[in-house]
Structures are given as structure tokens and as C-alpha cells.
Chain A
Amino acid sequence: MKKVIEVNGLYKFYRVGDSVVRALNGVDFTIHEGEFCAIVGTSGSGKSTLLNMLAGLEKPTRGEIIISGCHIEKMKENELVKFRRERVGFIFQSFHLLGTMNALENVALPLSFRGVPKSIRLKKADQMLNLVNLSKHKKHFPNQMSGGQQQRVGVARALVVDPDIIFADEPTGNLDSHTSEEVMHLMQKVVREQKKTLVMVTHDEHLASYADRIFHIMDGKIVRIEDNREIHKEEQQEKKKESEEKDHEKE
């Protein structure tokens, strides 16, 4: 399988007054195409720092980040912006929808940065909103939607540009547990169906179990990588069987 993200010897130090905070203290891993990965750890363990660095929002102190063959740690700011525009979708913890735009326009926004004409843009956004089950809320503004609905708009916005990789920093952090499950299901479904690579940060072990692989991070180091792929496969097969049996019963 193709390597999408490769991280080698990544360090990030912050200088706070006289002391140095080692937010990332030597991180190495590889993520392959179509994988759903979760980064889990306690508060302050360096999860967000790692994700921001993968998305090119922050510069590492030392180390390499290779995404689809490009060394993003060497890029200038406008190159990074271009890289994000063309390859990356982003889902935020606090949704960050633009308050002046309705759901449809919010989803279409990243396409406008690519210069896609308005009619095409809105059509694509429309499809995306259907995909995330928001066909009834297209004309709603963010302040007219619930948190879960807003986050689904956020997911649609990340998907609309057809990115190679989607980054999500605590996408369910502002949602209740039931809604969180819903959003996680949605993300899992989308990633499987569309073969996207998704990197998600969370501090909730349970939500992390939706991922194929889980990186456990502590004090800026990856301490354990959990592989759930086999379990997920079995689950899926069981589900298939169940539904087939149901179909049989109906007949």
C-alpha cells in the first residue's frame, strides 16, 4: 500500500520563559492510503501539536514530515497554503463555520479558493450535504443548527475538495456522547466508502476505537500503536452476515 504520511524524528520545543516545553519529543510513524488513524493521549501530551504540524500549520523544531512525497517542513507559507488547498481537508473541534454563510455556502467555500465557478461549487456542496444527511438544512445558518449538525457541515466542507487526507482535531469535543457516536459513524462510513486517509485527534479511548489504528501518545512520544483492522473486518463481516440473514428471512 502507498505511504501517504511519513514522519521521521519529529521534535517540537516551545520556549516558555526560561524553560523549554518538549511538546513532541521524537516521533516516527507511517500512515498508508485509506487508513483511519486516531491519536490518543491525555491532555497536554502533544496530540494537537502533532496534528498541526502534519497539516503544515506549525513548523517542527527538527525532523521530517513527508506527505505524498513532499517535505512539508521545508515549505514556505504560501506553498503550505497551496498544499492544504489541494490535498487537505480540515475538521475543527469548534466547527469554525463562517457565520455569514449558510450551510451550502460554507461547504462550497473551500472550492471557491480553488477558483471553481459558483454553479459547480454549489452543486458539489449540495451532494456533500446529502451525503452527511443534512438535505433539510442547506439554507440554515450556523446559529440555526445544533452542534451535531454544524459538525456534519464541517465534515462535508472537509470532504468537498476531495482531499487526499483529512485532519480532525477533537471533532466531537464539543458534542454529547450520542451525537459524537453519530458523527464518528458518519466519518467512518465516508472514509471507507471514499477511501480517504483520516487522521483524528481525541482523548476518548472509546471514540478512538472507530479507527483502524490508534497511536497512543504520552509526553510527546508515541508509546503504543494499536491495530484494530482485523477486529473491524470481522465486525463488518458479521454485520454483512446479519443483514443477509435478515434478507433471507424476508424472502
Chain B
Amino acid sequence: MNLIDLLRMSSANLKRRKLRTFLTVLGVIIGTASIVVMISLGLGMQEAMYAQVEEYGGLTSIDVTGMNSYGGGYYFEDSEQSDPAKYLTDDTLEELKGISHIEAAVPRLTAEALLLKGKYQGWVTLIGLTPEGFAREKIELAEGSSLPDPKAGELQMVFGNGIITNMYDKNGGGGYWETGEYPDIDFMNDTVFYILDTDAYYQTQGNSGMMGENGEQVKPPKKHIVSASGMVDGTPDDYNMHYYDVYCDLETLKTMLKKEFRGKVIPGQPSTSSGKPYNYLVYSSVKVYVDELDNVDGVQEAIRALGYNTSSNIEYMESMKSQFAIIQAVLGGIGAVSLFVAAIGIANTMMMSIYERTKEIGVIKVLGCDLKNIKQMFLMEAAFIGLLGGVIGNVLSYLISFVINRIVSAEAILGVDGSISYIPPWLALASMGFAVLVGMAAGYFPALRAMRLSPLAAIRNE
């Protein structure tokens, strides 16, 4: 029997009992749609996460921090007795150059600063980057902005677009978070001051005697005028990863800090056990850029072997991935239950159909229809139910997914753009294939049964 004839007979049998076929297919439609929609939710979340990671520096960078340093877990009180602390210094950068697959290692130095403008003040973290660091960071600047010039001789700054929300009224009037209004400060054009030695500022502000802890007189800290070279692109409503940061040139920041805190320990920097500062500055972190994703693990291992702490998005990704795998398995499992029920429906339909057609099967056996053909005919019927259900189920899934994405925005739930339900082509294809497979599996035993029917018993059965 050729394939077309088999197909013709199978489909004729399905057409014969339209309502029953429809109900069976309906089961498969619901099963397929529930699997696809469930998995699409998991995939949507995963997609959103990828997008987020991409935004936050991609997957090929590693953040290196020192051991036992201020970046590490615990403080450096006993640093000289116990393990020597591993600070990130220029030596570190040299060390990192010895590791292959590293494209660049850019240090970053951070310092706390206080911005002052009229009655407003606000805490910010100054981040010093090398020119290469700026190039790698790919900060999107607003119009008319430029990156800090390392040769300017003064500390030029690039303000994050959310810094304005940090400014508050020092007399108790509150800031943006209290009033809901942005203070009227234009960092680019207004005269804004900043203070690096904030301890001294508070000591001189608070008590009239202007006395330090040791009784010696504290000089009021120097107020510097901010020289803003640019703003990060975006309004204060658009959050991005540079939102709360203020960037400046690393070397200039070093010089400034050294001058400002001559003979004292710079806040955030380590000191010797006797409380004296080191004669070099310690970076708060080094960002290592790896050439390829596959090498990230290896490079990370190598850096750890040197005694530093590392963290990268890949670890976050890995842990997220396994979490998503679990979520997807659970969601898919819920969907699979309904497809399983549909499979039972198919098996039942096929059994009924065989009982109904016992005589017919007997007759075609007597007339010489091959046993294999009989089996194929019933398997095809079951597969066809699966296919039909799979195809319609997918159409339904796309509709449901569309509606979900319309009603529920991913932004509200996950805090990132993108759709919450995402059906990639492979999912559609795989689910259809799966539906066909389920149909055939459900139809297999009924088909065997049909094949084994005794022709004589079948035709006797009046």
C-alpha cells in the first residue's frame, strides 16, 4: 500500500467521526499550548536576564578585587600578622598581563565626595578611570559632553544622569525622594563645589570650637569647584548602570587625593598597623576584559590563583541559568501533565475507533491488507491527531503569548524591557514534533492491537 493511500484512509477515518476527532485534538491543543506558554514564560525571563547582563558589562569581563582589603569581606586590622593582604596596585596590573586571553585590565579608584551647591548637598562616589577604562566602559554621553581630559590639570567629572536625585536640602527641606521634584541644579554650567576630606568638613561644620578628636585644631577642608566635562545621556527617569556614578580621570584623582590627604590615611585606603598610610594608592577594583566567553572561566581561575577575589556575570549567569532550568522544568512539567492527559485521550479514541472498526479491519485483512499497513494506518491517525493539535496549539500559544505580553509588561515584573513570554521558532517546532510523538506513542498499542485482531473473529462478529 502506498503512502498516499494510507494517508487517505487515515484521514477518511478521522473525518468519519468529526466531533470525536475534534474533542481529541482539542485535548492535544490544550496540552501543547500549556507546555509552550509555560516554557515561553521561562524563556522570556531568561531573555530579559540576558539583556540585562549585556547591559551590565556583558559576559566577558571579570571584576577583580583585593583580598583582605577594603574591597574584601573583612577589614585589614591583622593584615600584617596573618596572610599578607592582596591589594590591587600597579604591580597587580603587571601580574595580570602575564595571563593569556586578557585583552585589557583597567583599574578603577573610588573616593567618596560631597557635592555642595547652595542649600543642596549630596554624597557621591567618584570613580577614577584610565582613558582605556573609559573607552571600555562605553558610557553614553549627553550632547555637548566630553570625557575628562587627563591633561586638564584639574579634576574633570562626568555626572551620572541620576546624581540630581542624590542632592538634598541640608537645612531639612529634603531632596527629590521627599519632594518629588528635582533640585534646580545644572552640573554643567552652575558653580558646584566638592569636598574630598569629608571628615574634616563635618568636624568643622558641627562644633564651633573647631577641635578635632585629638584636641588639635581641624582646618576646614578645601572646597574645590567642580569642572564638569559631561553628563551621562538620559533624564533622571532613565535608569542605567552609570546612573549614580561620577567619573573622572584616574591619575588626576590620585594626585588630588595625595595632595588633599598629605600625611594622613585616605578614607577607604589601607594603613599600616601603626596607622600610617602606605606610599601608594590601592585600587578598589580592576576590571579584566577577556577575549572570548569560553576563556572567562580559565582566566578567572588564574586570577584567583594569584590570590585575588574575582566575580563576573558568568557566575551570576550560571546560577541564574540553573535557576531558570528549574523554573522551566517546573513550568514545562505543569504543561506536560495536560499533554499527558491528552495522550490518554488519544489512546482512548484509538481504542474506541478500533472496536468500532473491528469488522472492517477483519475484512481488509481477509482481502490481503498487509499487517504493517494496518499498523501504519492507525499510527498515522494518531500522529495526525497529534500534529493537528500541535499546530493549532502553537497558533493558540502565539495568541496567548501576544495577549500576555500586551497585558503584563516585563518591566513591571522583572524591571527590564522585553516581553515576558517569548516563543522562539525552535520551541514551536519542538512542541509540534513532541505532540506528534505523543500521538504516536499513545496510538502505538491500539495500532498493535488492530494489527493482531484475528480476521476470522472480526468478520464473524456480526
Using a CB–CB distance below 8 Å, which chain A residues touch chain B?
52, 55, 57-58, 77-78, 81-82, 84-86, 88, 90, 92, 94, 96, 98, 100, 109-110, 112-115, 117-118, 157, 161
Contacts and interface: CB of A to CB of B under 8 A. Distances in A.
Nearest 4 pairs of A and B residues by beta carbon: A85-B368, A84-B368, A96-B363, A113-B369
Contact of A81 (B12, B363, B365, B462): B365
Contact of B1 (A58, A96, A100, A113): A113
Nearest to A49: B456
12 contacts: A55-B366, A57-B456, A77-B371, A78-B371, A81-B365, A81-B369, A85-B370, A96-B459, A110-B367, A112-B5, A113-B369, A114-B368
B287 interface: no
Nearest to B462: A94
B371 to A, nearest CB: 5
B82 interface: no
Contacts of B16: 100
Interface in B346-370: 359-360, 363-370
Interface in B322-350: none
B31 interface: no
B189 interface: no
Given A112-B5, A113-B1, A115-B2, A98 B368 contact: no
B459 A113 contact: no
Contacts of A77: 371
B311 interface: no
B162 interface: no
A110 B5 CA distance: 12
B366 A113 contact: no
B373 interface: yes
A113 B462 contact: no
A110 B372 CA distance: 15
A22 to B, nearest CB: 19
Interface string B198-211: 00000000000000
A226 B40 CA distance: 80
B455 interface: yes
Contacts, number: 63
Contacts of B368: 81-82, 84-86, 88, 110, 113-114, 161
B366 A82 contact: no
Nearest to B12: A100
B370 A113 contact: yes
Chain B contact surface mostly? helix
A103 B360 CA distance: 15
Residue of B2, B5, B366, B462 contacting most chain A CB atoms (<10 Å): B366
Indicate the size class of the contact surface on chain B.
Answer: 20 to 34
B335 to A, nearest CB: 36
A71 B10 CA distance: 34
Contacts of B363: 92, 96, 98
B103 to A, nearest CB: 66
Given A112-B1, A118-B5, A90 B367 contact: yes
B5 A57 contact: no
Nearest to A110: B367
Given A94-B462, A96-B459, A81 B371 contact: yes
B366 A90 contact: yes
A187 to B, nearest CB: 18
A202 B137 CA distance: 98
Interface in B53-71: none
B456 A58 contact: yes
Contacts of B367: 84-85, 90, 109-110, 113, 157
Contacts of A86: 368
A92 B365 CA distance: 13
A77 B452 CA distance: 10
Residue picked from B13, B16, B360, B369, most chain A C-beta under 10 Å: B369
Given A57-B455, A57-B456, A94-B462, A81 B370 contact: yes
Contacts of B4: 118
Contacts of B462: 94
A85 B368 CA distance: 4
A78 B370 contact: yes
Nearest to B363: A96
B372 to A, nearest CB: 8
Contact of B360 (A98, A157, A161): A98
Contacts of A92: 363, 459
Contacts of B366: 55, 57, 84, 90
A172 to B, nearest CB: 17
Nearest to B374: A81
Contacts of A109: 364, 367
A115 B369 contact: no
Contacts of B13: 100
Interface in B279-310: none
A113 B364 contact: yes
A199 to B, nearest CB: 15
A139 B160 CA distance: 84
Contacts of A115: 1-2, 5
A113 B455 contact: no
Contacts of B12: 100
Contacts of B370: 78, 81-82, 85, 113
A86 B370 CA distance: 11
Contacts of A112: 1, 5
A82 B360 CA distance: 18
Contacts of B459: 92, 96
A157 B462 CA distance: 20
Contact of B456 (A52, A113, A114): A52
Contacts of B2: 115, 117
A229 B373 CA distance: 42
A169 to B, nearest CB: 9
A82 B373 CA distance: 12
